[in-house]
Amino acid sequence: MRDSEAVLKILLNPKMIPDCFENHRFSHNDDNVGGNMYITFFFLRLMILQIYCSIYITDEGDVMSERDKMIAGEVYQPFCEELEQDRFRAKELCRKYNLLGADQPEEKQKILSELLGNSGENSIIEPNFFCDYGYNIEFGGFVYINHNSVLLDCAKIKIGADTFIGPNCGLYTAIHPINAKDRIAGVEWAKPITIGKGVWLGGNVVVLPGVTIGDYAVIGAGSVVTKDIPPNVVALGNPCRVTKQLD
């Protein structure tokens, strides 16, 4: 049973009403303290249940899956069976892609179309290429990605048309808790990365969760992009900072 389903069962379980309130359900004493406490507890449960439903239950009435939570930016369990199967599929497709020769462009396009949410128009990804899920990666047109790229797409990674990404670049959407106990428990969440059109990322650039890079920006080699970068600028460094405005 998923954690979210377990929480829902607890909230709906009448046995969760404390024993101290049980005798005051249908009786009223002189000061009515017990009755007021029972009513307060009832509405507290109702409020928690409403908050839970607004977060984890879809419009169709289904409890959100761990995949749904991941894509929605909620805390999720990455080692559930559903997401493990999704990662297995993506990594197997990456393995097949990376084994293809330079003279097999049609086979490469076929795998990219199957692997990615949107592979753009005749995009080129040089091997080796690795991703977590693939279906969260969307190209807005032709995109060129050089060798040894890693796109950890727990949230959406959107890359605009005519963008060039140098070798050994990493785009990371996953966030792990700073607290060691929470991190060891395996929970995580993710924030999307958006890269505009006509962008150039130099070699060994790392883009962190939640970052947006504006159209036609140039990111210098070896940069670690921790915050949004506006369009039409040159930016570089760790952390990455704007150094030049482009015409």
Q: What is the rounded CA–CA span in Å between residue 220 and residue 238?
A: 10
Contact 114, 137 (CB under 8 A): no
Q: Cα-Cα-Cα-Cα dihedral of 46, 48, 52, 53, to 10°?
A: 20
Q: What is the rounded CA–CA span in Å between residue 141 and residue 138?
A: 9
What is the DSSP secondary-structure string of 167-180? TT-EEE-EE--SSH
What are the residue numbers of the active site?
176
DSSP β-ladder status, 157-159 and 193-195:
parallel
The CA-to-CA distance between both ends of the chain, in Å, stands at: 56
